[in-house]
Amino acid sequence: MAHDRDRVDPERLRVILAIETTCDDTCAAVVTDQGEIRSNVISSQGVHDRYGGVVPEIASRHHLELIGDVVDDALARADVALPAVDLVAVTIGPGLVAALLVGAATAKGLAAAYELPLAGVDHLHGHVAAAFLGPDPFEPPFLSLIASGGHTLLARVTDHGPGYEVLGQTLDDAAGEAFDKGARLLGLGYPGGPALERLAADGDPDAFSFPTGQRMGGLDFSFAGLKTALLYRVRDLGEAEASRRRADLAASYQRAIVESLAIRTERALRDTGLERLSIGGGVAANGAVRSRMSALGAELHVPPRELCTDNAAMIASAARFVEGVPYPGYLGLDVYATGERILVAT
């Protein structure tokens, strides 16, 4: 069956349409196989604030309402028609299953309509692969710190993936979760990271001392104790004083998260001998994290903020290094909630 795509210039760049619905952002992007971003559409749902966190079924229902328009918008902004797409890519995990299923079903439907190949991408591979996007791609080898709402890990990146060697990861909460939970304790909305960062800008990071787990050896992270320390500190201060000193509490708490990330990252650079560092995930959008990482002495790559938080351009970037499944082999493709299927733990 001949499609329009069979008649286009074979010399033109391959075009990837990617879809990302891991959590509460509905995203679609068009990226060339050279890593040029033609469009990157992100629709943040903004409806989870009142619940203090993401409610999976509500996220899923909103993805369903938004995904059609988000994909159309991504194609229109890139000035690409669906039949001219060469590969459809979609995040298949880890994440909220009900949310992932919307993206996967949409991607399968779009790909199948024109018998296009489809690539299932791991969300964490996507965060790492944000570094490979143009116009100035950061090439392996490097150390990658991914700090998001669901994950915090250090990986040795020696090629474009999809497999990476995990050097350390969180034993409990993720760094983004620590921001979100701390923000909630300080009466801020969800997502807490950006709100806490704004409040911290007016505070003194030395005002209070919070644990960074410095004495815990190795490269694993732990943030659960930090959140509890903030809870006790707020209680000890009493409501009025805690409220008066909210900015100091936010700044000191943020400092502890940043230090906790920096201590392990510095150790990993030393242990591996790697001299180049890339950071990604939503927490890498934080200004204090960015400036602290730039002081570690490694050559630092920080993607623009919209490529740190969840987006589909990073999924397209990763898809360039994942084998696409030809039609109709992907119709039974499943999603997964947890587990590093792609990342190789050591």
CA atoms within 13 A on the CB side of 92: 22
* Among residues 21, 26, 60, 148, the one that binds Zn ion under rule CB under 5 A: 148
* From the list Zn ion, ligand KG4, none, partner contacted by residue 192 (C-beta under 5 to 8 A by kind): ligand KG4
Query: Least distance from C-beta 319 to ligand KG4, angstroms?
Result: 17
Instruction: Say how far apart CA 41 and CA 69 lie, in whole Å.
Output: 10
The H-or-E segment that residue 145 falls in is strand 142-147
Helices and strands (H, E) in the chain, number of each type: 11, 11
Please give the size of the binding site for ligand KG4, defined by CB under 6 A: 20
Amino acid at 200: A
Site mask for ligand KG4 (CB under 6 A), range 243-282, x = bound: --------------------------------------xx
* From the list Zn ion, ligand KG4, none, partner contacted by residue 193 (C-beta under 5 to 8 A by kind): ligand KG4
What is the edge-to-edge ordering of all strands in the sheet holding 37-44?
A: 37-44, 25-32, 15-20, 87-93, 118-122
Instruction: Say how far apart CA 123 and CA 214 lie, in whole Å.
Output: 29
DSSP assignment of 225-260: HHHHHHHHHHHHH-HHHHHHTHHHHHHHHHHHHHHH
CB-based contacts of 83, cutoff 8 Å, min separation 6: 3, 4, 5, 114
- Give the nearer residue to ligand KG4 in terms of CB position, either 179 or 210: 179
* From the list ligand KG4, Zn ion, none, partner contacted by residue 205 (C-beta under 5 to 8 A by kind): none
Site mask for Zn ion (CB under 5 A), range 304-323, x = bound: ------x-------------
Using the rule CB under 6 A, is 194 a contact of ligand KG4? yes
Using the rule CB under 6 A, is 192 a contact of ligand KG4? yes
* Among residues 20, 122, 173, 197, the one that binds ligand KG4 under rule CB under 6 A: 197
CA 99 to chain centre: 15
Using the rule CB under 6 A, is 93 a contact of ligand KG4? no
- Give the nearer residue to Zn ion in terms of CB position, either 140 or 149: 149
Residues found near ligand KG4 in the complex (CB under 6 A): 22-23, 148-150, 176, 179-180, 191-194, 197, 281-283, 285-286, 309-310
